[in-house]
Chain A
């Protein structure tokens, strides 16, 4: 442990920033895991360029990892950083507006030379004018000291250069009084095959730690004690990982094989990667030749009895539209996950947005209603994957589950749930002895029973042509078509009798209702929380069930004087509410910058609405 004075902080935001090849994501993840094991509540936000190795030293090539840790409830990765690690001038420039006034900036001074100023678009060193007056600048010769530490190492120059992120991590570990054991064991496992790399990285991390101690980087070091979380066993999870595990749990509880048909796409690919690891649990992952084959293979597997899912992001959802229509027509179980990113077209592949809502609701030919759900925190991606699976298997209708880049790549502590404590899943499947009519339905839920190939006596044909009610035979009858369109729609509507009522956080009625959905929960919750502390008349209504909406939605809307719908798009949910609930005025607060809302901007906007 370091010997300087230790100050206890309630919460702190740290950002690691450098070139996309500098290993900032790994550094951030290590700090996260260590903090999680110490019992901090936390939230993280990786922000990286679309190019794997964008031009070195440029602002466009900066890769960042922000982490917010606290001994209090943490709901967002933080608006601005208390501590910034800038591995080069570009990293400093890219983040200059996101550091708290008076905050600490650790710079790799070895990279502060004219060549790197030019690349970053600085005429001269930003540290020498007044740009960063009032900040605590820690100039660390990270490159030089890393080389010095490893001067006797047999590693080549390139590998030595790569270890410098560990020096930065060592400095930050000292500043926040973190033990280094967790990262040491991580390095030992990661470089199992190369003991020289393990030794080098550990040595450099310690050198960074000792450097900070020697120069007394700060007049005092800080600690963030463990948060008061509910009792239980915790682990740190990322959204895409939690989503994958939710599907695993659902398949096991439904006694189904899990099948994923998918095509790689940012930021959804990690779900494919995660599930591909778990063949031991019987998961079948199929990396198809394209997005369309991904979903079509999943529909084929669903017909043959699997819990079938397909995962994608916006452009991929567009390609899957026709096949989603087929799953709606054939009334088969299927979960389509869309980890949303900035659009239209290729848009901003590595940035977050909520602009696929209308596509999820309506982006298909014909009258083709689907269930639409949205997860709202990295950890609850687990619950929504589970719930999406339960709905699709019990009601035999496709479910579109919306996540986003911010949730998928973000991390937070998760109180682990046992599969024994999750709701039962009872797939709606016809048995051998049934007198089977493929399109006969349950009177209450309107869902049909599926029959799985291999079941004796239930041979039948499905397809995309309109179905005759009850028999499922092809039918071009005009009356039947209208009837079937209504049935497919009513089947979705009736789910609102089953799903829980919408909850409100804060005031149950009053001056301002803040409405959100999906991935913006953390920032909206923090902003509304701050206003509630000052006893403002404000409530937060945050939706996870999008189609159908919870049955008490209208009642909630009618209890407030003003309603503001906040979302990371141009107003898609606001328009959806206008369509469903006429007579209300829905104000909008929107952002289309590829970044999440900050709680500061939300709080300021809500205050202005409350004062009018």
Chain B
């Protein structure tokens, strides 16, 4: 197979996001990740709905489809079912996936169709110029709610784990290396891989994630999970997470008799999603925010189940072509 580089995935279209937008970093990380996947260029397809993030497919030199608001999971499902050999990437935002497209989003996760979903979560509507979104923090003032929102926000992790998501990862737009690593793992996972990207909107919701991504706080505010490893964070990795009476707690190794053996070991493969949900819910200042692959479990996929049914029916077919069907059953001759 010919060796591909990031340049092979860069289209001739001018990128039109605002200067400083977090989307640029995600685009670059994606263009660098695809050559690592050992697949033919023509087998990638990017599908999006509507919103700032949904312009993404235009900038990728792959097959692409910029569809309608909220419906990308349905298009992606049709694509994967029509051609199971394709590597299907859905690009969506918090409004596209969780407001207008909430229904399709949960059903894709429930079915576990083998696609990858990148959820660009900036907690705001960008393309329609600054209204609050289903993930906006309660009380923020926007044009469409100048007195502060009265909406309780969704937690994307709780919503998707509730919908039986088999793969959930989180990353920040300021960490391109981690993004690449997660994109590669997402593609390897069989089933719907959901990646929540905390992405900064410089125009309408700047620094909404600064408590996680801020340079001065990030060492203590970010925790990168790795399967099979103790859950540690901090400048010298001397802090960790323990489970105490059904609740997570932060501890410091060496204080109050805590040793490395007391620290929780991350098990992304555990079918029970309870602990995954608890880890995903952690937020500063009480906790660091969990990043990396939080959940990755084996579950049969919708597309492979459908294809095995078709294979079985073909092998045990009463009819092998349409004519045999048309002339079957009760017929009579004139």
Question: CB within 8 Å of B: which residues of A?
Answer: 33, 36-37, 39, 182, 226, 229-236, 245, 248-249, 252, 257, 259, 261, 278-282, 284, 286, 288-290, 292-294, 296-306, 308, 322-323, 326, 330, 415-420, 453-465, 473-474
Contacts and interface: CB of A to CB of B under 8 A. Distances in A.
A459 B42 contact: yes
Contacts of B11: 461
Contacts of A286: 77-78, 81
B107 interface: yes
B318 interface: yes
A454 B85 contact: yes
Given A259-B78, A296-B71, A282 B310 contact: yes
Contacts of A229: 334
11 contacts: A36-B332, A235-B327, A280-B317, A281-B321, A296-B68, A297-B77, A297-B78, A304-B86, A454-B86, A463-B66, A465-B66
A259 B42 contact: no
B145 interface: no
Interface string B97-122: 00000011001000000000000000
A426 B50 CA distance: 34
B216 interface: no
B244 interface: no
Contacts of B45: 304, 453
A461 B86 contact: no
Secondary structure of the B side of the interface?
mixed
B332 A234 contact: yes
Contacts of B41: 456, 459
Contact of B326 (A294, A306, A416): A416
Given A231-B334, A236-B330, A459-B42, A419 B323 contact: yes
B85 A33 contact: no
Among all A-B residue pairs, the 4 with the closest Cβ atoms: A300-B78, A463-B66, A297-B78, A296-B74
Nearest to A248: B322
Contacts of B323: 418-420
A279 B78 contact: no
Given A459-B62, A461-B11, 6 more contacts: A232-B333, A288-B107, A300-B77, A301-B79, A323-B68, A461-B57
Contacts of A233: 327, 331-334
Contact of B322 (A37, A302, A419, A463): A419
Contact of B103 (A290, A294, A458, A465): A290
A530 B70 CA distance: 55
Contacts of A460: 63-64
Contacts of B331: 233-235, 416
A461 B81 contact: no
A301 B68 contact: no
A280 B313 contact: yes
A292 B314 contact: no
B115 to A, nearest CB: 10
Contacts of B60: 461
Given A235-B329, A296-B74, A453-B63, A326 B68 contact: yes
A245 B333 CA distance: 20
A580 B205 CA distance: 52
A411 B11 CA distance: 54
Nearest to A259: B82
A305 B84 CA distance: 12
A235 to B, nearest CB: 5
